[in-house]
Amino acid sequence: MTDWLISIEGTPAGMRLALCLALVSAIAHAGFGALQKGRHDPWITRGMIDSFLFLLSAPMALFLVPWPQGGEWAVLLGALAIHFAYKLTMALAYERAAYTVVYPVVRGTGPLATLGFAAVFLAEEYAGLQWLGVGLLSGAILMLAVVNMRDAPLGGQALRAGLGWALAGGLLVAVYTTYDAWGIRLTADPFTFLAWFFFITAVDFPLLCLWRQLRPGATPLPVLRPLLIRGVFGALVAFVSFGGVMLGTRLGRVGEVAALRETSTLFAALIGWALLGEKVGPLRAGLMALIAGGAVLVQIG
């Protein structure tokens, strides 16, 4: 598998696979966000998901793939720091504002910044039509967040704080997407980077949640069985969501893969409507069509 993936890097077949991985990642990431924002405390949910990520990735990292060598350890530690900051901002945002407000802000901020970072730091060149497509996609996603604010269950200071953390999370999406693309391209075996990435970056939140639970006045743990099921399912979804997009950025161009992945907002809206009882009217439907149109322009460009 590794030799085949390396052989199609930079080829039309590699780009087609990269876009397929980005689309699958988009669907998975929408579900992942809904899992973290569900009926349980977002800190506890993410801690449980990361606990199972650690357990499931341990045998792969320790026994099935080559171990990192030399500077690859430093790259993985950098990923740990960036993704911890991202997870922290997401938990703080979900704690303060509605899922349908937070998620579009995060995903709308990321694509345009990612395109800029990829152009500057990875020397990738993009056509004017692609910049227009990403601008359209990001603008429509952010407008979706504005529309969703009208129905947000929280208001005032909590909503403003949630939006602030969501904007920070969106910028960190651009940072980690660019950094992870650089890291997985730098590592000789992409599956070494993926296995050790999940193994190392899953350590922090379980420890943080344990510390939070040991504090006086901590939120009591919910019934464990549903939380355990959510943790296992969330870990499996995370492998598809984050692993898919990282493999996609190894095979294809970061800006194009990232833009297609941000169609996750479409799937998040469908999840919010179907599972969380949230409304999708004509205005939201129109904005979702613009998001899809922006993604198409990026690929045409």
Q: What is the pLDDT of residues 63-73, one digit of tens each?
A: 999 999 989 99
Q: What is the spatial distance between Cα 30 and Cα 39, in angstroms, rounded to a whole number?
A: 16
* Angular region, 218: left φ>0, alpha ψ -120 to 50, beta rest: beta
Mean pLDDT on 255-276:
75
Closest to 210 in 3D by CA, of 36, 51, 34: 51
Q: What is the spatial distance between Cα 211 and Cα 208, in angstroms, rounded to a whole number?
A: 5
Residue 113 or residue 281, greater confidence: 113
pLDDT exceeds 90 at position 175: yes
Contact 287, 143 (CB under 8 A): yes
Mean pLDDT on 148-168:
75
What does the pLDDT read at residue 280? 63
Confidence grade of residue 216 (pLDDT, cut at 50, 70, 90)? confident
Mean pLDDT on 272-294:
72
Whose tokens are 């689309």? That residue is 23
297 exposure class (CB count in 10 Å sphere: 0-12, 13-18, 19+): buried
231 sits in which H/E element: helix 224-251
Q: Which pTM does this prediction carry?
A: 0.86
Q: What is the spatial distance between Cα 128 and Cα 71, in angstroms, rounded to a whole number?
A: 36
pLDDT exceeds 80 at position 252: yes
Q: How far, CA to CA in Å, does 6 sit from each of 178, 185, 187, 244, 252?
A: 19, 10, 11, 15, 12
What does the pLDDT read at residue 266? 74
What does the pLDDT read at residue 35? 65
164 exposure class (CB count in 10 Å sphere: 0-12, 13-18, 19+): middle
pLDDT exceeds 60 at position 24: yes
Residue 133 identity (one-letter amino acid): G
Closest to 222 in 3D by CA, of 34, 48, 30, 99: 48
Secondary structure letter of residue 67 according to DSSP = P
pLDDT digits (tens, 9 = 90+) for 220-250: 777 778 788 888 988 998 899 889 999 999 9
Secondary structure letter of residue 190 according to DSSP = H
Residue 155 or residue 18, greater confidence: 18
What does the pLDDT read at residue 78? 96
Percent of the chain with pLDDT over 90: 29
Q: What is the spatial distance between Cα 17 and Cα 166, in angstroms, rounded to a whole number?
A: 30
Mean pLDDT on 69-85:
94
Spell out the long-range contacts of 159-164 with Cβ–Cβ below 8 A and sequence spacing 24 or more: 159/96, 159/97, 159/101, 161/92, 161/96, 161/97, 162/92, 162/93, 162/94, 162/95, 162/96, 162/97, 162/98, 162/101, 162/102, 163/93, 163/97, 163/101, 163/102, 163/105
To 10 degrees, what angle do helices 254-261 and 224-251 make? 150
pLDDT exceeds 90 at position 192: yes
Confidence grade of residue 85 (pLDDT, cut at 50, 70, 90)? very high
Greatest mean pLDDT among 125-129, 278-282, 284-288 lies in: 125-129
Secondary structure letter of residue 262 according to DSSP = T
Confidence grade of residue 96 (pLDDT, cut at 50, 70, 90)? confident
Residue 4 token pair = 């085949």
pLDDT exceeds 70 at position 39: no
Q: Mean pLDDT lowest for which of 125-129, 183-187, 242-246, 263-267?
A: 263-267
Contact 134, 115 (CB under 8 A): yes
